[in-house]
Amino acid sequence: SVVALAGGVGGAKLAQGLAGAVDPERLSIIVNTADDFRLWGLHISPDLDTVMYTLAGIANPVTGWGIAGDSFAALDMLGRLGEDAWFRVGDQDFATHIRRTSALQAGRSLTDITAGMSTALGIEPSILPMTDSPVSTMVEPPAGTLAFQDYFVARRQQDDVLGVTFEGIDGAALTDDVTAALSQARIIVICPSNPIVSIGPILALPGVRARLAASPAVRVAVSPIVAGKALKGPADRMLTTLGHDSSATGVAALYRDLVDLFVIDSQDAAERPAIEALGMRVHVTDTIMGGLDDRERLAREVLDVTAGVEAVRP
């Protein structure tokens, strides 16, 4: 079986590619939930929704998030009524949040709710929230601590991030589904997501790093940084302000002792020796994904190259 760790648009793209490259019953996608927050009484799960909409084939192709062709009548009316409509929620997107919130209030778990909505949208792979426990990413700019969505959306990522914490992480429990997926995995793929705020919370869950370190699976990561820059989002600036190199090598260093194979873009081929010095095999290819064919091409290449790699333990 194949397990992917994902969050954000880049993670969702490779997850969609993996869904077309393997038997969907063999694919589980563990998704960051530390971005989750409440707004207008609704429980919003941005990374879960981005992965879900992408695998359902309904994601907005321009932004990568939200639903293609969605309207914003409800949001516009909220603005007219005096609400600060700073978070862009489309009308169909509202339906997702209403359904999730209602089911949570009825006592269902986020894992169960996500499975039900995925089935309703025709998604065959398992989309697994990283935990059913509440976890919140907090970022620390010079002026004081901000909730992640305030930094990411309301303030448009303009602040330098000097620290990141995950509130609730120490008490967050792995779900049975995530535990089973990790224990049964033969290949574990860390998608090209922000290593600090998308993959970071998953790795920070109690027990996850130990499970990855001890797993017999071949563990492969795809760099989200190409030629020193993030393809989308603030990962490059976050790496720099947090004291890491904004490079494929900088990301590889964060995954040291957790990854057997690191996949980098052809533009970063010169970084191969530095990454190999971290104890990883390196595969160089075109990692920039466009449409579905491109996503499946990269996914198949990532899976194919793992066949020649033996899992190496520290």
pLDDT tens sequence across 89-99: 999 999 999 99
pLDDT of residue 58: 97
Of 164, 117, 122, 124, which Cα lies nearest the Cα of 140? Answer: 164
pLDDT digits (tens, 9 = 90+) for 38-68: 999 999 999 999 999 999 999 999 988 899 9
pLDDT digits (tens, 9 = 90+) for 130-187: 999 999 999 999 988 988 898 888 888 888 899 999 999 999 999 999 999 999 999 9
Answer whether residue 314 shows pLDDT above 60: no
pLDDT of residue 203: 98
pLDDT of residue 144: 86
pLDDT of residue 112: 98
**CA dihedral of 15, 211, 241, 198, whole degrees rounded to 10:** 30
**Helix H or strand E encompassing 30:** strand 27-31
Does residue 55 contact residue 14 with C-beta atoms inside 8 Å? no
| Confidence label for 128 from pLDDT (cuts 50, 70 and 90) | very high
- Secondary structure percentages of the chain, helix, strand, coil, to 5: 40, 20, 40
pLDDT of residue 158: 87
Give the global pTM.
Answer: 0.95
Answer whether residue 234 shows pLDDT above 90: no
pLDDT of residue 312: 58
Which one has a higher pLDDT value, 310 or 278? 278
pLDDT of residue 150: 86
Here the tokens at position 231 are: 């393809």
Answer whether residue 270 shows pLDDT above 90: yes
Alpha helix (H) ranges present in the chain?
Answer: 8-21, 46-56, 73-80, 91-105, 110-120, 148-149, 176-184, 200-204, 208-214, 235-241, 248-254, 272-276, 292-306
Give me the residue label for tokens 């992480």: 169
* SS3 label, residue 131: coil
Give me the residue label for tokens 């005096």: 82
Indicate the average pLDDT of the chain.
94
